[in-house]
Structure 1
C-alpha cells in the first residue's frame, strides 16, 4: 500500500464524524419517540379512568358474541354465499364450530357451521331428536329467555322448537335452513331486531362425539358497535388522535376521530428520498405491517393482545402518508378488578421524521465538507511526501547502479525536516560506501601489479642462485623458495581471475530452460569422472522451467562436483538432486566425506578460502575460487548458496529464483 493510499485511509477515518452524528441522530429520534409515547400513554390512562368514572356503556367483561353490520339483507338458505364478506371474522365455538352473527335495520342473522364427518340425522317422527346431531339455541331479551332445539332429518327447511315454557315476547319456534356437505352441516336462521336480544347461547351436539348433555348451551352477551360509546370517546379524545374501544375479545365497539395529518406547505413535505432515508437509516424498528389502518370489526394487534393481558403497550408503525409515522397505545380498561376492554389511541405524526431528517441532512452536509477539505489537504501532503521520497529512492538506486558511486549531489540535504535529516545521513553513508567501494574495486589490481615486480625479482634471484653452483645441502631450501614463489604467483593470478569472473557472471545472458535437462546432462558427464564412487541423481517427475543462464548453472555444478569429488572416498557415494520450490528451485549436491568445521561454515563461499591441505610440497596450490563462483552464480539468479553437514557427509545447495527478465525499451 502506497503512502497516498495510507493517507487516504487516514482521511477516511474522518467518516467517524458522520457515523457518530448518525448514531446521535438515531438516539435523538428514539428520545423523541419515547417522549411522544409517554405523553400518549398518559392520555390513554386518563381516558380509561374517565370511561369508568362517567359510567360509560362499556362492553361486558368476558367473552361475548359480536354482531357485525351487513349492508345488504342475508338470504336464509343454508349456504354461505351471503356470508362471504363477513367470514374472515367468524367466531370459533368449541373445537368444531364457527358462528357468524350479523344485523341490519330489521333482522338479526345467525349462521352456525359445524364440522362433523360422521353424521346422524333425526328421525322424522322423533320430536326432540336428542340422539341425533342437533343444536341448542338460547336467546334472551331482558328478563325473558328461551331455549330451542334444532335438528333435521334431511337438508332443507327445519324448525327450532322451544324447550321452555312461554317466554313473553320471544317466539315459541324459529324457522331455519339446514344444509349438509361431506365435512359437516350449516344452519341459518334470523330473528326480528325488534326483539332487542341481549344474550345468545349455543350448544353443538354431535352424536358421534358421545355428548352426555344434549340440552346444554353456552350463553354469552351480544355486543355490537355502540354510537353512544363513540360519542363518549369523542368527548374525551385528544385532538388529532383516533380512539377505538375494543371488547375483551378485541371486537370494535366504538370509535372516534381519524388518522388525519395537519396540512404542511409543499416545501416542507418530505419527498420520497427523505422518507427512504428516514426509514432506512434513522427510524428504529417499526412493528410488522398489519391492517391497523383498515375499518375492520376485530383489531388483532400485538399491542392489543398485550393490553388484554392487563399491561399497557405501545407500537410504532409507518403511516399511510409519505414521511409519517403512527404511534399506537393500547390501555386496558378495568372496573372492579375485571377487564372490560381496551382503549386504543393512534396518533399520526410527521414531526419526528422531519426533525430527524433535517438533523441528519445538516450533519451529512457538514461532514461531507469537512471530509473534502481533510481529504484534499492529506492528498496534497501525500503527493508532496511521495515526490520527495521518490527522489531519495532514485538517488539510492543510482548509487546502487553505479557500484556505490552517486551521480550528482544527493537530494533534500538542505531540508530542515526529518526527510532532510534522513537525506544527509544517506549522503554521508554513500560517501563512505563510495570511497570504500573504490578502494576495494582497485585493491586486487593494485596488489597484483605491486606484487608482480617483487615476485619477478625473487624468481630471477632464485634462478641466478641455481646457476651459481650452491652446495648440495642448500638445494632443499632453494626448492622451498621456488614453491613459495609459485604459490604467491598463483594468488596474484587468482585475484585477477576473481575480478574477471565477477564481470563475466554479471554479463551472462538468460533463457527459459528446463533445469531438469541441465542437471541430467551434467550428471551424465560426471559419471565418467566419479570412478568407483556411486553417483545418484534425483529429478522431479515433471519439467522445472526457469529463466536462467544454462552456462552459469553448469559452471556452478562443475565447481560443486569438483569440490565433492576431492573429499569423497574412492568407494563413497555422491548425490545430485533437483527440487522445485515456491520461489524457484533448489539444486543439491551431497557427498560422503568429512564434516565441515563449524568455524568455517560461514566463510566457505568467500573468495580465496579453501579447506584442502596447502602444506603438501610440489602440489599445485588450490585458489579457493570454486565455492566463490557458486555463490556468485546463486546471487546472479537472485538466490543464495548454503552448506550443511549430513550424518555421514556434506550437502551443498544452490537456491535459485531465476534471472530477472530484461524489459524492452
Structure 2
C-alpha cells in the first residue's frame, strides 16, 4: 500500500467527522420523543372518547328507537339509512344515488319469501338501499324482472300485479303496511292496508308516500320517499312478482324481511339527530368522532380525518419572521430536509369515510366495558390512524361505543419540525466547530511549516549554517521545539565556524615550524655527513615539501572562499577560456590525450574567467588521477536548443538556457553512494581499487579532497550545478565517470 502523507488539517478534518454522530444521536432522541408523543396522543384520545361517552351515559331514549337491544344484526334484513348529502329528485333514475350505490345490497335467491313453483328458477331480483335526509326516508329499488305486469285500469285489486309492499312498526307502536302499485310508468300510487295481516283490501290511499315508477330494459325502478315520522325501529320491503297477465297468479316474493308479522320485520337504523347534535360540538377538537350501537353500526359521525392536524402541531402553524437565516433555510436547507424527512400527505385514502359498520379489536374491547385503542395503516400506506373507543353504559349494560380517530400527521409534523430545528442547530455547531478546528489546525500546521522552512534555510546544501532560527515566544510545545532548534542551530553554527577556520589557523600555525624545520634541514645539508645520514636528510626534506603542499592546498580553499565573496563578475566567452585551458593541459601533460568538442559560435556567461580556469584545473586534475595514460580525456561543451525558448535581453542571464561542460575519463566507476559526497570538503576516494593500475605515480601526492570541493564552490558562484555519474560513451562503448557542470548563458552586450 502507498504511504500517503496526511497533514494536520486533513487529520483534523477526518476527526471532525465524528461530529456526524451528533445528528444520529439527535435523530434517535427525536424518534424516542415521537414514541412518547404517540403514547400521549393515545391517552388523550381515550380521554376524549371517555368524556363524550360520559355525556351519553344513562340516556336510553337515544337508543330506544334503534336496534341496540337485538342480540345480533343480520345484513340485508336490518337496514341502515345512509345520510344523504342532499335531497333526492324522485324521477326513477339512479343518477342521484350513484355516489352511494356501492353500498346498495343485492336481494335474490337467499331472500325469497315465497315461490309458487319451487322447480322453476327465480325470475325476480332487485338491488336496494335507503337513505335519510331532512326528515325523510328515501328508498330506491332496481328490480330485474323480465315480465312487468301493471295494475289494470278498471280493477279495484291492487295486489294482482307487480307491486312493492312496505311494513313498519310505527313510532306509535302500531303495525302498519302499505302497497305501492301503479297502472303505468310515472307517479306511484301508495295505499294503506288494514292492520290485520290477513286482509289485503286497501283502506285509503297514502299520499305521504311519494315517488316514481320507471320501466327499464331489465325490469323497472322504484324511487320513493316517506316521512321519518311514519317509520319506527322496524321496517321491511318486499317485491311481489306476477308474470302472467291473464291468470295474475303470484309467482314469487323477494324481500328484505317477512312483512306479514311484526316480529319478523327487520330493523332500520336511522342516524340519530340527537346524538349528532351532542357530538357536533366535539368536531372542534380536530378528531373524527363515531357513535356506534352495540352491533357496531354507526349512529352518528362528526369530523374528517383529512382536515385533522390535531393539537400537536398547532404551535408550528405561525410563520416565522423572514430574516437572512430564514431565507437561507428556505432556499437551501428545506429542500434538503424534504428529501430526508417525509412530509405527511393529505391525499391519503380513507376507506372508512362513509362506513356504516365499524369493526376492530378496540371496538370489541369497548363493547366488553373497557377502553380500547388501536393503530391502523391506510390502504395506500400514506397515513397512520389512531383510534380509541369507550363504552356507553345504560343500566349497567353497554349499549354503544364512542370512537375517536386521529392521524399521526400532527405528531409527524411536530417530529419534522423538531428535526429541522435540531438539524439547523447541529449544522450550525458542526460548521462553526469544523471551521474552528480547521483554523486551529491551519495555525498549528503553518507554525510547523514555518519552523521547517526556517530549519531548511538555516543550513545550505553543503551543510553550512547560513542563518539562525528565530526562537518563538509562544508557551506551547511548538514554541519549545522552536527554541530547542534555535539553540541547536546556534551551537552547530559555532562548531561549524570553528571547523571552517580550523584549516586557516592550522596552516598559519604550521607554517612557522615547517619553515624552522626546512631551514634546519638546509643548514644540515651543508654540513659534511656520512652517506647513511645524508639519506635521512633527503627523506626529511621530502616530508617537509609534502607538508608544505598540504598547507598550500588548505590555504587555497580558504582563500578562494574569501575571494569569491568580493569577486567582480564580467561577461566573457566561455569557449575561449576552456579551449585555452585545454591547450595548456596538452602541453603540461604530453603523455595524456585531450579531446574537445564545442559549438562553432562563441558562448558567453557572466562570471570570473580565472575561476572558470581554476574550475577546469580541478576537473582535469581529478580526471588525470583516475585515468590511464593511454586513454584520452574527453571534454565537451553542449548548449540547449535555442528554438525552445524566447531570445534573451542583452546582458541578462537565463538559467533555463544553460551550457553544459562535460569531462569524461575512462576508468573505474564511482563508489557506491559517493556521487554527491565527493564534492564535500576533506572527502577523498584514493583506495587502490578505485585507481587504474598504471597510475601509481600519483600515489605519493597528498590528497585532501579539496579539488572537487573547490570546483563546486566555483560552480555555485556562477549559479550553476555540478554532478558526477557513471557514463558509457555511445561511439566507443567506453565506461568511465563523467562530471557535468551546467552554467546559465548570458546574451552579450554589443
Q: TM-score, normalised by structure 1?
A: 0.47
**In terms of Rg, which structure is larger?**
2
User: When the two structures are superposed, what TM-score results if normalisation uses the length of structure 2?
Assistant: 0.43
